[in-house]
Amino acid sequence: MRCTALRRAKKHLGRRGAFLLILGTGKTCWGVSFLVDPPQPLGLQLLTRYCTLQHWAWLWIICGLVTIGSAFLRIGRDRLGFITALIPPAVWAVAYLAAVLAGDYSRAIWVAVWYLTSHVGVILWASTVPETLVPKLRAAPGKKRPHEHR
C-alpha cells in the first residue's frame, strides 16, 4: 500500500515537481539553520545593514515553503515555485558581489559565483525542462525489445 502511494505521489509530482519539492525543502532547512545557529555574517554586510541574519532566514523559509507548495501544481502553474526559488540565492549573490566590490571579503567572489551557478543557474535550467517521459526504445524490425519476454 505504501509503495502504491509513493508511485502515485511520484506520478503526480513529475520531474519538475520533484525538483521543486527537493529544492524547497533545502531552502526551508537552510533558513531554519540561520534561526537555530546563525553563522558569522562574513560577506553579508549589505544584508545585515538592514536586518539580522535571523530576519533574513525568513526569506529562505518563506520562499522554500512557496517552492514546496508549487511542487504540487500543474506545469505552467508551478512558475511561482521557480521564481521564488531564485530569490534567496540571487539576494545572497548580490550581497557577496557587493562585499567583493567594497573590499570587505575577498573570498566572496567565489561564493557569489557558486550561488549564481549552482543555485540560480540550475533553477533557471530546471524551469525550462519539459515534463515529458523518456521515449521507449524502438526495437529493430524482427527483434524484441530488451524488456519483452519470449
88: nearest Cα among 115, 125, 50, 122: 115
Those residues whose C-beta lies under 8 Å from the C-beta of residue 32, and which sit 6 or more positions away, are 57, 61
Which tens digits make up the pLDDT trace of 114-123?
999 999 999 9
Which tens digits make up the pLDDT trace of 65-91?
999 999 998 888 899 999 999 999 999
All three cell numbers of 55? 530576519
CA 13 – CA 22 distance, rounded (Å): 11
pLDDT of residue 139: 61
Asked if 93 and 112 count as a contact pair (C-beta separation under 8 A), the reply is yes
All three cell numbers of 14? 513529475
Asked if 32 and 57 count as a contact pair (C-beta separation under 8 A), the reply is yes
The residue to which cell 533553477 is assigned:
123
Task: Answer yes or no: is pLDDT of 150 > 50.
Answer: no
pLDDT of residue 28: 98
pLDDT of residue 142: 66
